[in-house]
């Protein structure tokens, strides 16, 4: 039976972080309740369309999904189990350290993985980017969660400041988690952070400093037994995110909620980024999604190559041949030759050399 993944988007946050340009914000309780009801309808509809498929991973992301009440989370979980034929191996929910969460209840709902938005263990930096929590709260959150979850991921941001002490962050975090997502701060247009930087009120790390921080992070993670399996993701053996991996190997996925994207039967579609319209029924559950495009075989190939090369394992040539009935090494021989200094090639695999991971986009571009 074909495996599928499900992403559930919760666009609610307690406050807006200064760097964030995701579709999320503060909404009142009535809107949250109406949103959850509408989400259940969209989940039900996705389930009806998934005949012959089996749901293997679920991810509650946002926003901050744990701003919902336990009853609302339970309602969503029940809706998933009632709507899909499922054998869920990984069920993740994102949370933030300032939110009081009943971890025991989440575990009882079948959620088995927690992703915590730590971002930094330096209070001054947390304040600088508008996070609502302190480092102490982050550590307390991870320690309480560890009583119920053996699979915990933390998000960490790099590039927040020239003096950012990544080793200190990792010393505090790595013995408390099984998975780390490390993102480089990107100054998005029209965010408060962009304004603060433009007005000279805030300074962040330069690109070179950020690269140095990433190198320190890479080295420290390796020493602690965390393997990089994708440019931003590190994990202990066996704790790589199965849900994220399904995006990279083009497993089909449903995305429900505002702005959520889906990839089903070769089609891409997404919902509008508008909570008001969503609760009025403007979503895929009512056939009101936006169709992005139907993938041509060439686009599908390019995406598969691109996503595979972003991972540490690289492009598996046998899988590629099975999927597209084509030998990549032959079909793209010139591109491979042009990039030969930047890649590792063996019988069954092509991967970007470790030292070029941070400039991989331009290399990948040449390989498709």
Residue ranges that bind ligand SF4, judged by CB under 6 A: 13, 16-17, 20, 22, 24, 62-64, 96, 117
Q: How far is the CB of 265 from ligand SF4 (least distance, A)?
A: 30
Residue 247 near residue 61 (C-beta atoms within 8 A):
no
Alpha-helical (H) ranges within 156-294 are 166-173, 192-198, 207-223, 242-248, 275-279
Q: Which is nearer to ligand SF4, 88 or 138 (CB)?
A: 138
Which CB, 133 or 283, lies closer to ligand SF4? 133
Which long-range contacts link 259-266 to residues 24+ away (Cβ below 8 Å)?
259/9, 259/11, 259/23, 260/7, 260/8, 260/9, 261/7, 261/292, 262/46, 262/289, 264/4, 264/49, 266/294, 266/295, 266/300
Nearer to ligand SF4, 62 or 285 (CB): 62
Is 61:10 a contact under the CB 8 Å cutoff?
Answer: yes
Is the CB of residue 305 less than 8 Å from the CB of residue 284? no
Rounded Cα–Cα distance for residues 111 and 306 (Å): 31
Q: How far is the CB of 116 from ligand SF4 (least distance, A)?
A: 11
Residue whose entry in the numeric block shows the structure tokens 């040449």: 366
Rounded Cα distance, 180 and 232, in Å: 8
Q: How far is the CB of 99 from ligand SF4 (least distance, A)?
A: 10
- Looking at the Cβ atoms of 88 and 180, the one nearer to ligand SF4 is 180
Instruction: Return the number of the residue (15 or 329) whose C-beta is nearest ligand SF4.
Output: 15
Q: Which CB, 5 or 13, lies closer to ligand SF4?
A: 13
Relative to beta strand 267-270, strand 179-184 is unpaired
Shortest distance, position 309 Cβ to ligand SF4, whole Å: 28
**Nearest to ligand SF4 of 17, 339 (CB atom):** 17
CB of 17 to ligand SF4, least distance (A): 3
CB of 62 to ligand SF4, least distance (A): 6
**Shortest distance in whole angstroms from residue 199 CB to ligand SF4:** 21
DSSP 6-63: EEEEE-B-SS--TT--SS-B---HHHHHHHHHHHHHHHHHHHHTTTTEEEEEEEEEES
Q: Is 275 helix (H, G, I), strand (E, B) or coil?
A: helix
Residue number with CB closer to ligand SF4 (10 or 364): 10
CB of 316 to ligand SF4, least distance (A): 33
- Distance, CA of 250 to CA of 252 (rounded, Å): 6
């Amino acid at each position: 039976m074909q495996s599928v993944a499900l992403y559930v988007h919760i666009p609610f946050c307690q406050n807006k972080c200064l760097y964030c340009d995701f579709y999320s914000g503060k909404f009142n309780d009535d809107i949250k309740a109406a949103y959850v009801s509408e989400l259940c309808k969209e989940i039900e509809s996705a389930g009806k369309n998934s005949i012959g498929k089996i749901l293997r991973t679920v991810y509650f992301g946002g926003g901050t999904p744990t701003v919902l009440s336990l009853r609302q989370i339970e309602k969503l979980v029940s809706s998933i189990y009632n709507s899909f034929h499922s054998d869920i191996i990984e069920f993740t929910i994102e949370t933030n350290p300032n939110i009081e969460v009943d971890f025991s209840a989440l575990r009882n709902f079948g959620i088995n993985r927690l992703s915590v938005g730590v971002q930094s263990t330096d209070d001054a930096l947390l304040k600088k980017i508008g996070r609502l929590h302190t480092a102490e709260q982050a550590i307390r959150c991870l320690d309480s969660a560890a009583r119920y979850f053996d699979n915990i991921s933390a998000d960490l941001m790099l590039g927040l400041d020239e003096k950012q002490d990544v080793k200190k962050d990792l010393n505090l975090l790595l013995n408390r988690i099984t998975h780390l997502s490390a993102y480089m701060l990107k100054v998005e247009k029209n965010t408060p952070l962009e304004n603060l930087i433009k007005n000279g009120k805030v300074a962040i790390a330069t690109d070179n400093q950020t690269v140095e921080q990433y190198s320190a992070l890479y080295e420290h993670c390796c020493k602690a037994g965390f393997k990089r399996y994708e440019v931003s993701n590190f994990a202990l053996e066996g704790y790589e995110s199965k849900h994220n991996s399904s995006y990279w190997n083009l497993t089909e996925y449903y995305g429900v909620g505002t702005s959520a994207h889906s990839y089903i039967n070769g089609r891409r579609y997404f919902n509008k980024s508008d909570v008001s319209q969503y609760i009025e029924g403007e979503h895929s559950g009512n056939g009101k999604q936006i169709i992005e495009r139907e993938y041509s075989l060439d686009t599908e190939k390019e995406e598969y190559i691109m996503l595979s090369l972003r991972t540490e394992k690289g492009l598996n040539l046998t899988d590629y041949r099975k999927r597209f009935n084509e030998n990549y090494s032959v079909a793209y021989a010139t591109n491979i030759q042009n990039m030969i200094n930047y890649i590792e090639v063996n019988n069954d695999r092509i991967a970007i050399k470790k030292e070029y991971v941070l400039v991989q986009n331009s290399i990948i571009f040449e390989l498709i």
